[in-house]
Amino acid sequence: MHHPYHAFDSVTRFVREAAVDPAVLAIKMTLYRVSPASPIAQALRTAVENGKEVTVLVELQARFDEEANIGWARAFEQVGAHVVSGLPGFKTHCKACLVVRQEVDGVRLYCHLATYNARTGGIYGDLGLFTSRGSFGEDVNELFSHLNGRTRPPHFHHLLVAPADLRSGLVERIRREADHARAGRPARIIAKMNRLVDRRLIEELYAASGAGVKIDLIVRGSCCLRPEVPGLSDNIRVISIVDRYLEHARIVHFDNAGQPDCLLASADWMPRNLDRRVEIAFPVLDPDLQSRIREILVIQLADTVKARRILANGRSVRVRADAGTALRAQERLYDEAGEGMAGPSVLSLTLLYNA
């Protein structure tokens, strides 16, 4: 799902239908920002009232939303939900939902990984993944056990989790791309985030640039990397897009010598996200979805209306197009979405290929 071009109602429907589906046994969910009238929080309370096992991690230190979150945590406890506070000393910023459903052939796990704020879902650009792939379900279930303090950081099939291994997972992939470039294989990194501040990752990008990796970055806010500096970042280009929708998605696409590796994440590349928060990054495994995400990035890199190019001296200039060739990325993405997608429900997910 690509919000807000696809309706955020797909996410709220997913939780609402799970709350009233007799075959659903349990729902586990993290909530970072919870509005006072959150339809998702209300659906979770309904699920408890319907006898389902509900585990909710409510982040009580979400800046500006502390009061609403505390109120919802108390409301969940009052109706009998299991409220989790997360790992001591770490703010939980990852967004994950797990639905456990009894089906004819056994128990099946359905996941959604992305944002859960209906208020921002209509104005923030973000990507979310629905999947019923068993290995993803196992990962998300293990994640909740870890956040509940029941297990040490486990080994995941797919997830990279901060502060344990998200940074090292990114470093490994950047270095792998540099190895491809040195060996003469196709090597490219396209990364999109809100802020790029982490010194170690910046240095890894400089090293990859020196190895010949072509790197395109889309950074909406703070960027401490200096692009296009001769001998340092010759192969790095940085743009920022400020338009009607807040660019909020975190995406990293590695060409990986023709075997694409595409990650979606909850974290910006900042020390606070990588070292002092619980964040996740997860791969998109379906080739068609990988191609679509790369198309989204390429469209944004081609923006000549709302994009600014960051220069080596830290200043920015508007990206201009030749006459008749202007492209406004958000407008193009909106047109391509058409009427959007109604979004899957718990029942319709049973018919999906394990994407």
**Same structural domain for residues 94 and 43?**
yes
* Separation in Å, CA 272 to CA 110, 147, 149, 192, 215: 30, 18, 21, 18, 24
**Same structural domain for residues 226 and 126?**
no
Report yes or no on 131 lying in a domain. Answer: yes
**Same structural domain for residues 218 and 313?**
yes
Which of 68-77, 205-214, 311-320 has the weakest average pLDDT?
68-77
**Same structural domain for residues 187 and 132?**
no
Average pLDDT value over all residues in the chain: 89
Which of 82-86, 115-119, 214-218, 290-294 has the weakest average pLDDT?
115-119
Give the pLDDT of residue 339. 44
Flag whether pLDDT at 250 surpasses 60. Answer: yes
The C-alpha atoms of residue 317 and residue 15 are separated, in whole angstroms, by 43
Residue-number span of the structural domain to which 191 is assigned: 161-320
- Whether the CA torsion 35, 284, 219, 303 is positive or negative: it is negative
Which of 36, 33, 59 is closest to 117 using CA atoms? 33
Instruction: For residue 323, name the pLDDT band (cuts at 50, 70, 90).
Output: low
Instruction: For residue 324, name the pLDDT band (cuts at 50, 70, 90).
Output: low
Percent of the chain with pLDDT over 70: 89
**Same structural domain for residues 126 and 189?**
no
Please compute the mean of the pLDDT values over residues 78-86 and round it to a whole number: 83
Domain total in the chain = 2
Report yes or no on 210 lying in a domain. Answer: yes
Residues with Cβ within 8 Å of 155's Cβ and at least 6 positions away in sequence, in order, are none
Burial grade of 156 (CB within 10 A; 0-12, 13-18, 19 or more): buried
**Same structural domain for residues 122 and 165?**
no
CA terminus-to-terminus distance, the chain: 13
Which of 38, 30, 84, 93 is closest to 61 using CA atoms? 93
Report yes or no on 329 lying in a domain. Answer: no
Length of the chain: 355
The CATH number of whichever domain residue 250 belongs to comes to: 3.30.870.10
**Same structural domain for residues 145 and 201?**
no
**Same structural domain for residues 153 and 168?**
no
Report yes or no on 337 lying in a domain. Answer: no
Report yes or no on 173 lying in a domain. Answer: yes
Question: Which of the listed residues 158, 174, 203 is the one where a domain comes to its end?
Answer: 158
The C-alpha atoms of residue 332 and residue 121 are separated, in whole angstroms, by 19
Question: Which of the listed residues 158, 190, 219 is the one where a domain comes to its end?
Answer: 158
Report yes or no on 97 lying in a domain. Answer: yes
Chain segment 167-197, per-residue pLDDT in tens: 999 999 999 999 999 999 999 999 999 999 9
Give the pLDDT of residue 85. 79
Flag whether pLDDT at 139 surpasses 80. Answer: yes
Give the pLDDT of residue 121. 80
Flag whether pLDDT at 10 surpasses 50. Answer: yes
Give the pLDDT of residue 341. 42
Chain segment 221-249, per-residue pLDDT in tens: 999 999 999 999 999 999 999 999 999 99
Which of 86, 155, 97, 159 is closest to 128 using CA atoms? 97
Q: Does 25 or 150 have the greater pLDDT score?
A: 25
The C-alpha atoms of residue 208 and residue 188 are separated, in whole angstroms, by 9
The alpha carbon torsion through 58, 63, 64, 67 (nearest 10 deg) reads 40
Give the pLDDT of residue 137. 96
Instruction: For residue 153, name the pLDDT band (cuts at 50, 70, 90).
Output: low
**Same structural domain for residues 272 and 124?**
no
Flag whether pLDDT at 72 surpasses 70. Answer: yes
**Same structural domain for residues 183 and 58?**
no
Instruction: For residue 116, name the pLDDT band (cuts at 50, 70, 90).
Output: confident
Question: Which of the listed residues 126, 158, 190 is the one where a domain comes to its end?
Answer: 158
Which of 187, 170, 174 is closest to 259 using CA atoms? 187
**Same structural domain for residues 152 and 237?**
no
Report yes or no on 352 lying in a domain. Answer: no
Q: State which amino acid sits at residue 191.
A: A
Question: Are 108 and 79 a contacting pair, CB within 8 Å?
Answer: no
Please compute the mean of the pLDDT values over residues 323-342 and round it to a whole number: 78
Give the pLDDT of residue 151. 63
Flag whether pLDDT at 212 surpasses 80. Answer: yes
Report yes or no on 354 lying in a domain. Answer: no
Flag whether pLDDT at 30 surpasses 50. Answer: yes
Which pair of tokens denotes residue 181? 């470039």
**Same structural domain for residues 282 and 299?**
yes
Question: Are 38 and 75 a contacting pair, CB within 8 Å?
Answer: no
Q: Give the active site residue among 2, 3, 6, 93.
A: 93
Active-site annotation holds for 93: yes
